[in-house]
Structure formats: structure tokens, C-alpha cells
Amino acid sequence: MDDLEMEGEQLRSTLKTLAKINARLGGDAVSLKGVKKLIKNSTSKTGLHLIDLGCGEGSQLRHLANYSRRHELNWQFTGVDANTACIAFAQERSVDYPEITYLKADVFEWNMPKCDIVLATLFMHHFDDEQIMRMIEKANAEVTLGWVVNDLHRSPIAYGLFWALGLFIRNEMIMHDGLLSIKKGFKKEELEHMSNSLKMQSTISWNWAYRYLWLLRK
């Protein structure tokens, strides 16, 4: 999935399968939990603008949009991805969600617009610590509440469990990229080190299935 030129049915099938895996393993719920924590003490919980980096086919944004609709929060969303085909597929799958806008951009070159919350789900592990901090520092002036980072706990147990899951997943790309992503995941102390360097209020909590929810507050 690091191939930004990937397109066609292979990409669409992979994105749909990844969305199902993420939903069933609680990934969408973890990100929503993070958003709720960030807005808990906010003076206004309505009319927020949330940006999702590395949005893929947009399943997380639709999950959040459904929550916003149920609670009449009138949130607006922007999904950002560097792959043109991902953006096109996300737009196709989100045709009934006018509150979601998608755009193609490189997060290191793009000037982020004003927003309340930035989401990064299974995205940060694609970069080294220096790049992550540069990304956050570059965009932070435009963010009012903070960041919700939902990413992998680097663990031999997580690796073994995902390998076992491969017995039921008939997609070699997902298996290859999934195992590689776990190897690129984070230890808690690495997130703590970045938090200290960024000089932001942070909380780090472990969640199933081998995820860290890393909240950075303004």
C-alpha cells in the first residue's frame, strides 16, 4: 500500500478488505474514542472540522460522520491521501456523505487549512520519528484541539496474531503489508519521546487489537 501509483480492482479490493478488518478489530471505535476524549472539555462540540490523513477509501470518515449525524453535531470532514485512485474510490463510496470532502495531497507539501482535530489512523508508522514531528509541527498552528493518532503496537504477539489471521485472508498484499506495518509500529516509550520533543500535552493508551491511541492536545 506504499505504492502511491497503485490503482484498479486490486487496490479497490484491498481497501475494502482493510476497511472490514479495521472495523472488526475495533480500529474505527478507537479513533472515535480519541475524538470524544479531545472534545470532552471543549466549549462547543458542534460544527467541528476534522481532517483524516491517509484516509484510504474513507471508511473511518463515514464512521465518524454517522456518529455526527446521530448526535446532530454537524461535523465537517476532509480526507487526505497521496494516491489519486484512493481519493476517487473514497469519493465513490461516500456519495451519500456531502459533509465529507476528499483531496489528493502530500502531507509534507500541503498547507493544512484550519481545523479542529487531525486524525491519523495506521498512517504514522509509514514515517520515521523526525518526519512525524516535522509533519505535526508544520500543521499544528492550524489545529485548535489536537491530534488523534491510532497506530500499531510493535509486538511479536501482534505479529503472530496477524500471521494467524492470514489463514483466513486470501490477499497476499494485505498480509505482506500488514506484517511489515507491525514491524514499523511503535513502542510506548517512542511515542513518549516524541511527545516530550513536541512539548504538547499527550496521553497514550493501549487498545485492542494491539493499537496505541496517542492523543496530542493543544
Contacts of range 203-209, beta carbons closer than 8 Å, 24 or more positions apart? 203/37, 206/153, 207/26, 207/30, 207/33, 207/150, 208/25, 208/26, 209/25, 209/26, 209/158, 209/161
- Read off the pLDDT of each residue in 150-154 and give the average, rounded to a whole number: 98
Is residue 172 very low, low, confident or very high in pLDDT (cuts 50, 70, 90)?
Answer: confident
Distance CA 75, CA 154 (A): 33
Q: Is the pLDDT of residue 2 over 70?
A: no
How high does pLDDT run on average in the chain? 94
Query: What are the residue ranges spanned by the domains of the chain?
Result: 8-153+187-217
pLDDT top residue among 14 and 155: 155
pLDDT at 4: 52
Cβ pair 185, 152 in contact under 8 A: yes
Record the pTM: 0.93
The length of the chain, given as a count of residues: 218
Q: Which helix (H) or strand (E) holds 4?
A: none
pLDDT score for 7: 63
Q: Is the pLDDT of residue 1 over 80?
A: no
User: Between the CA of residue 137 and those of 105, 147, 197, what are the distances in Å?
Assistant: 17, 11, 10
> Residue 5: its pLDDT value, please?
55
The domain 8-153+187-217 having CATH identifier 3.20.20.70: the answer here is no
Q: What one-character DSSP code corresponds to residue 75?
A: -
Average pLDDT of the residues in 119-138: 97
- Which tens digit of pLDDT belongs to each residue from 187-206? 999 999 999 999 899 999 99
Q: What is the pLDDT of residues 37-78, one digit of tens each?
A: 999 999 999 999 999 999 999 999 999 999 999 999 999 999
- Which has more confidence, 5 or 88? 88
Residues 210 and 138 sit within 8 Å (Cβ to Cβ): no
| Percentage with pLDDT > 90 across the chain | 80
Higher pLDDT, 125 or 168: 125
